[in-house]
Chain A
Amino acid sequence: SQELEQSPQSLIVQEGKNLTINCTSSKTLYGLYWYKQKYGEGLIFLMMLQKGGEEKSHEKITAKLDEKKQQSSLHITASQPSHAGIYLCGADGVREYGNKLVFGAGTILRVKS
């Protein structure tokens, strides 16, 4: 069973619109990773969050880790077709999940021009 829940499962947005993807864990997160994947290709690292309340941005993508360290959100501002793909959150809870990354099921993002 999945230990990370991502929502929504899929999303279709008009180009230029903002969107948010959520990742919720049933256990405390010691490290939360966001990756992007084009269908059938490798995962591209976006950001890593460790501290409660931490927020990081890269270009038009911002990710936050809540204070209780059990949820993260990924926000894309003014979406573009290049943002389309599958967004995966991965959790590293060395003490909770063991020495590995556990991934959510992914959120499929489509951006309409």
Chain B
Amino acid sequence: DSGVTQTPKHLITATGQRVTLRCSPRSGDLSVYWYQQSLDQGLQFLIHYYNGEERAKGNILERFSAQQFPDLHSELNLSSLELGDSALYFCASSVVVTGTDTQYFGPGTRLTVL
């Protein structure tokens, strides 16, 4: 158990809908990262928040947005969902803002868009 929690574990929805994925980092970790894992793209970095502020963006679509709240939990919002958004979404957390600090991953949320 990494100490990172994600809810829900599974999510099934229809195209065009909007969903929210939630992540609670390990106690004391200020950084939260979101990743998307799909069969064709592999594990791709989406976005990084540190202590409530966005620090880096990766291959995140404009239909997706995220935020980190004062209690440090984070939410990833996915809207106007398409079939291709079906994937495993992971969050990870680390203590500091820069790299060379181990990122601990949550169990993931499996999103299925029908």
- State the majority secondary structure of interface residues on A: loop
Segment at the interface with A among B12-20, B61-69, B78-86, B103-111: B103-111
Q: Which listed residue (B4, B42, B48, B99) contacts A31, Cβ 8 A?
A: B99
Number of A-B pairs, beta carbon distance below 8 Å: 70
On whether the beta carbons of A99 and B42 are closer than 8 Å, the reply is no
A100 and B102 contact, Cβ closer than 8 Å, known pairs A40-B88, A41-B108, A42-B108: no
The number of residues on chain A lying at the interface, defined by a beta carbon within 8 Å of a beta carbon of chain B, is: 27
Chain B interface SS verdict (over half): strand
Task: Say yes or no: B106 contacts A103, CB within 8 Å.
Answer: no
Instruction: Answer yes or no: B113 CB below 8 A from chain A CBs.
Output: no
Interface residue count for B (Cβ, 8 Å)? 27
Cross-chain contact A99 with B99 (CB below 8 angstroms): yes
B42 touches A100 (CB 8 A): no
Which residues on the A side are within 8 Å of B102 (C-beta)?
33, 45, 48
**Does the CB pair B104–A92 fall under 8 Å?**
no
Chain B residue numbers with a CB within 8 Å of A43 are 90, 92, 105
A-B residue pairs, 5 tightest by C-beta: A92-B99, A100-B45, A99-B56, A43-B105, A31-B100
Listed in ascending order, the chain A residues whose CB lies under 8 Å from chain B are 2, 30-31, 33, 35, 40-45, 48, 50, 88, 90, 92-94, 98-106
